[in-house]
Amino acid sequence: MDNFIQQLINGLTLGSIYGLIAIGYTMVFGIIGMINFAHGDLFMLSEFIALIVLLLLTKTLGFGYLPVALFIVLIAGMSLTSVWNWTIERLAYRPLRGSFRLAPLISAIGMSTFLSNFAQVVQGPRNKPIAPMFAEHLYIKFGTHNIAIQYRQIVIVVVTVVLLGVFWWLVQRTNLGRAQRACEQDRKMAALIGVDVDRTISITFIIGAALAAVAGSMYVLQYGVVNFSDGFLPGVKAFTAAVLGGIGSLPGAVLGGLLIGLIETFWQMIPTEGVPEYKDVAAFSILAIVLIFMPSGILGRPEIEKV
């Protein structure tokens, strides 16, 4: 029972990170019907930004108060990653928006390759470690069971919940959110009633990048190591989470991220030799099974073709 609860906490922590990345995929797809395959590499860039800013604060400037340092890292990561994604949208995606459907997809794959190789050239191919942060444990007695929760796991879940709450309010209660929902339903009609479609799409890319930056900072906090290849597998899993939850559905993206994180962690509990190494296969197999019986995902809506 202790191991089950422990793995549940680990799965929720990992799933929170996947959920934050998945929102970026589902937002862009919901508005312009495009899969931004460079989104995972933006997550990787945000990891490097978080690492560099944190080292500058703690090692170079000698700033020792970690909560404030982490807050500065989050703000810097969100700002710089948002600028990256805004630039990518303006240069690589917007000129192709009226082209055939495969053109933006090919451009996104090319941008993903460029960002990955750029990070490899600038930072090198080796892992970049950092000293553990918030590694202390909080012990909770649950009946006859003792559960150990790392403080950084609490930080990750709390930050994720707060940001998702703010983001949900932004989408549901603000003029920007109404403009996003209008563009999602019909971009041409939204433009006719006065919505600045280009500006709305750019801001959507900025918000998605900011959430990916938070996920990158949380990933560094949790695992303490960064590599230029980090964008691929977490990016694919976050995309899988978005599809699993229902691409285009914001709650579905979070739910899918939590499910992928839980599947990974609980799969590693299987004692059979060699089985834990196939946790990625397990996650993608669950996705395939769900899509066979629920093609729109868990919370997705069936796509209705407009004529």
Tens digit of each residue's pLDDT (9 = 90 or more) over 294-305 = 888 888 766 655
- Separation CA 281–CA 288 (nearest Å): 10
- Separation CA 48–CA 226 (nearest Å): 7
The size of the chain, in residues, is 307
Tens digit of each residue's pLDDT (9 = 90 or more) over 98-133 = 788 788 889 999 999 999 999 999 988 888 888 777
Fill in the amino acid letter for 158. V
Q: How far is CA 46 from CA 41, 81, 128, 134, 161, in A?
A: 9, 6, 14, 20, 20
- Residue 87 pLDDT greater than 90, yes or no: yes
Query: Could you tell me how far CA 302 lies from the centroid of its own chain?
Result: 24
pLDDT for 64? 73
Q: What is the pTM of this model?
A: 0.89
The answer to whether 240 and 283 are in contact (CB under 8 A) is yes
Fill in the amino acid letter for 67. P
Residues of the chain with pLDDT > 90: what percent?
30
We find that the CATH architecture of domain 2-293 is Orthogonal Bundle (1.10)
Residue, of 298 and 47, whose pLDDT is higher: 47
In which band, very low, low, confident or very high, does the pLDDT at 88 lie, cut at 50, 70 and 90?
A: very high
- Residue 9 pLDDT greater than 70, yes or no: yes
Residue with tokens 């994180």: 261
- Residue 273 pLDDT greater than 60, yes or no: no
| Mean pLDDT, range 163-183, rounded to an integer | 87
Tokens at residue 286, please?
A: 């669950």
Instruction: Tell me which range, 45-54, 134-143, 292-301, is most confidently predicted by mean pLDDT.
Output: 45-54
- Residue 307 pLDDT greater than 60, yes or no: no
pLDDT for 226? 92
Domain extent listing, the chain: 2-293
Helix (H, G, I), strand (E, B) or coil at 167: helix
Buried b (16+ CB within 10 A) or exposed e, 146-177: ebebbebbebbbebbeebbeebeeebeeeeeb
- Residue 272 pLDDT greater than 70, yes or no: no
- The span from the first CA to the last CA of the chain, in angstroms, equals 55
| Mean pLDDT, range 278-307, rounded to an integer | 74
